[in-house]
Structure 1
């Protein structure tokens, strides 16, 4: 069976496992662990605190520092209320396309990587190759965050990471972060005719939003020189402000949903430091002078670290040699790459399929894209194999 046929067969098995982020991914992790373990890989399964989700680390080659990590997430987005032509969890082929939930985002890359494992296992590798398959990327890169903490403390961690998100095999060297928050305000309800006796949670939420809008303007002046992002600076968006239920009642509760899209992680830290200080030094003391139980609580929905374009990027340079590409791009969607960059690894994004097909009904990947990915991985094996 050719590598392409093996990839398609394995992809069909993976699509049949509905690893929606709200559900367990353990069946897929065990399947991949067994497949790689049978090839002689050193396999580790790292479960989360619930025991229903897990990351997989599998190494082929010498147990030493450096080497290359092939990374992908196992979870997919829901199909609820989507109008699919066929069963989203039964892969089918039509006109050179493979349809099914997760075909391009991103089980296609995982299948291609694992299909190449027998070649790696039989080769005399100069450097190790690590497979890293994570949980819960779609809801905040939760698995990759746990995995990066494990790798951070390892002397033998890989030095390069190729994240196989769907880029149509283009080389992506950067993307903004995506940090989402909900801030909840608890004040004190009362009659609207005596506002001095209550704590108006909506008013404090509005002041909070006003401060965020001020920070948004300050971020424009923090844009890194030569930033290629559009816009070149970090941004803040206010997604929702809600609270109150009647004209004549002082609202006791309010919520603000907001996000930061940082072009550099220092901007995320800047915004968090500034807004947290404003709450601690100004808003809360004012609220608690009237009502000691007043609260302002920030919930971190997800903090996806951006991938910052670097002048020196060994992973980018390697993939350029493997694909023959002579240019790179930036993307607007978030990935796990920044978490690996954060712990000192060189990271690049390059994988089969188009992001335009991700998350949609009748998601598909072109068979030709899988073939192109296999060609890249085949050249990777040649690159890291000892000469006879």
Structure 2
């Protein structure tokens, strides 16, 4: 069997194993991390882990040290280990990899365990090469829920003085260069009122009704965002967006609801839009809604919970990471996306970053998620290029 075929078969085997770990966002991913760490330690890579407060969700960072150094920046191959929840309707078990024709099905196959599998399959080749730059492997938790894991890892990297390099985030882009995306801020707002009989609404404080007014204000702000879009905006749509994801509250038709929560997000194209949204909605909640609620029931409350505030990924005129990837793929084109990644977090600390990985985002988060097998081959070929630019 040729080296190429062996790597390809190995990547499928690893991807099959990775899919078998049910690493839905918010759940324990330690078994998957231990699996990845065993592979990296087995070839001599040094590793360290960064845990959440409960020591259940884990980030992993591994390093293959250069045998010689020629001043080249290290490469960081980064991917998130979590997947989104599974909906009903799958034609096969979502946590059992299934190959049909030229596609491999399974939750996370595309977003983004396919990339992680390729990096682990290729790691021994890096190890056996005459590296003149460090190769890092970075696997994070809970990217799908406002990038909760990566900031903890990046904080640790700064402590260890790992603050320079070229970071390649392997989100599914069909191996095309993505050099910008919007920010992503997620919130849950909790309303507390006073329960009572619906026949006397003036004696209670309906958390649901005040939450509804809050949502109406959000929709007004959303319309304002459309008018604030910067000139020649590179995104589609060409302005910051705002979306209400859910409203939960109330127990019966004839009971004044004393509790309600609203889940919403905004995706700003520039930071000042994020500030605008925060200022407008917080002012409305604190100066209009809450005083009205407290007139009837002084213990009423509106509490805004920050799920995550992830900065955007900004396009730069000069990007060492984009140029590095282009030199391997031969494709100088750059694209933008509306979905979020961890790229802006690495960019913020001065690490040149690019998003480029196997698979199509069109398959992510869907029933019967899949990755085309040829995409794995393309990714392995790309990693060969990374190796060639990392040896004497």
Distance 2:82 2:108 in 1: 8
Give CA-to-partner distance per residue, 1:90-112, whole Å, 9 cap, x none: 33433232233322221111111
1:378 CA drift (Å): 0.8
1:80 CA drift (Å): 5.0
1:260 CA drift (Å): 0.8
Tell me which moved more, 226-235 or 99-108.
Answer: 99-108
C-alpha change, 1:211 and 1:273, in structure 2 (3 Å) is same
User: 1:201 corresponds to which residue?
Assistant: 207
Distance 1:264 1:118 in 2: 41
Distance 1:31 1:221 in 2: 49
User: 2:74 corresponds to which residue?
Assistant: 67
Tell me which moved more, 90-99 or 123-132.
Answer: 90-99
Q: Does 1:220 align with 2:222?
A: no
Match of 2:272 among 263, 266, 277: 266
Give CA-to-partner distance per residue, 1:165-185, whole Å, 9 cap, x none: 111111111222332322222
User: 1:337 corresponds to which residue?
Assistant: 343
Gaps of 5+ in 1: none
Q: Does 1:47 align with 2:51?
A: yes
Task: Please show how residues 58-97 of structure 1 align to structure 2 within 5 Å.
Answer: 58-62=62-66, 66-85=73-92, 87-97=93-103
Task: Please show how residues 185-200 of structure 1 align to structure 2 within 5 Å.
Answer: 185-190=191-196, 197-200=203-206
C-alpha change, 1:145 and 1:326, in structure 2 (3 Å) is same
1:323 CA drift (Å): 0.9
Distance 1:102 1:190 in 2: 46
User: 1:279 corresponds to which residue?
Assistant: 285
Q: Secondary structure of the equivalent of 1:315?
A: helix
Q: Secondary structure of the equivalent of 1:334?
A: coil
Alpha-carbon RMSD: 2.8
Distance 2:28 2:192 in 1: 35
User: 1:32 corresponds to which residue?
Assistant: 36
Give CA-to-partner distance per residue, 1:161-204, whole Å, 9 cap, x none: 11111111111112223323222222234566766554343443
1:229 CA drift (Å): 0.8
Q: Secondary structure of the equivalent of 1:183?
A: strand
Distance 2:201 2:40 in 1: 66
Tell me which moved more, 31-40 or 190-199.
Answer: 190-199
C-alpha change, 1:221 and 1:341, in structure 2 (3 Å) is farther
User: 1:315 corresponds to which residue?
Assistant: 321
C-alpha change, 1:193 and 1:100, in structure 2 (3 Å) is closer
Q: Secondary structure of the equivalent of 1:6?
A: helix
Distance 2:32 2:100 in 1: 25
Gaps of 5+ in 2: none
User: 1:148 corresponds to which residue?
Assistant: 154
C-alpha change, 1:172 and 1:241, in structure 2 (3 Å) is same
1:285 CA drift (Å): 3.5
1:147 CA drift (Å): 1.6
Give CA-to-partner distance per residue, 1:225-273, whole Å, 9 cap, x none: 3211122111222344565577876553343332212112332233223
Tell me which moved more, 59-68 or 114-123.
Answer: 59-68
Tell me which moved more, 241-250 or 215-224.
Answer: 241-250
Task: Please show how residues 223-372 of structure 1 align to structure 2 within 5 Å.
Answer: 223-241=229-247, 251-372=257-378
1:320–1:326 contact (8 Å) kept in structure 2: yes
Distance 1:361 1:289 in 2: 48
Q: TM-score, normalised by structure 1?
A: 0.88
Q: Secondary structure of the equivalent of 1:116?
A: helix
User: 2:11 corresponds to which residue?
Assistant: 7
